Amino acid sequence: MRVGLLLQRSNPEAEAIARDLAAWLRAERHEPVMLDGGAVESLDLLVVLGGDGTLLHGAQRVAERPVPILGINLGTLGFLSTCSPSEARATLAQALAGTLVCERRMRLEVRLVRKSGETLVRYACNDAVVSQGALARLLEFEARLDGALISNYRADGLIVATPTGSTAYSLSAGGPILVPQVEAMVLTPISPHTLTNRPVVVPMASRLQLRLPAAPSNVVLTVDGQWGTEVAEGDLIEVHAAAAPLQLYRPADKPYFDVLREKLGWGGG
């Protein structure tokens, strides 16, 4: 199998583990591929050595290909990671043998249609966020779901999160936690001016449209914290479930709520 290795930048531990895994893969008659900034093609599996940010970057790199991802946690939380560094070789062996659980998780297709007609498309494993950027003032925008008006929001921004992303920025902004099997996305306003504007959970099959009022300034659309661009007057943001899900290896012996208790510091039970 052709196995990509994506490393957290300037991390000596990641480099050491990657060298060890590459040597082991060659000995097992697999082809390791060290990934840099170039194109990612013809991979059977992607191994990410780093934190959740590095894994999200890797997911962007293979967004339009059915490549399963195995995350080796070198970060702080590691919600998306599969294993610790000490378990890396054994876990990778399980993945290559087909005995490791691979979850299919919802991703978002985020489409920015410029007033000029130019269209930008990105894919989100966690979330798409519309915010005011560095300026501390309210953002006004219209949100519609399948054509029906949700609200004319006045807030610092809006987070559109997948179930996977519900434990990220959305959670910090007061949004609910959705277990990965829930086929939905959550709309979480950031510091809304109207306090009754609460998070809303909508079906995965829905299509969200966001429009800004005339002459917005410093409005930014970001996807998974990995990519961002300014949004101008007349632009349209469309968000819906992507056709291709994220494929993520998970340890079979660690249920989802075990991970939540560990990562969020919940009490035992």
Q: For CA atoms 190, 194, 200, 206, give the dihedral sign.
A: negative
Report the alpha-carbon distance of residue 117 to residue 199 in Å, rounded: 31
User: Residues with catalytic annotation?
Assistant: 52
Distance between CA atoms of residues 234 and 232, nearest Å: 6
| Edge-first strand listing for the sheet containing 157-161 | 200-203, 184-190, 157-161, 127-131, 219-223, 227-231
Rounded distance between C-alpha atoms, residue 17 and residue 19, angstroms: 5
Radius of gyration of the chain (CA): 20
User: Which DSSP symbol is given to 174?
Assistant: T
- CA–CA separation, 111 vs 241, rounded Å? 11
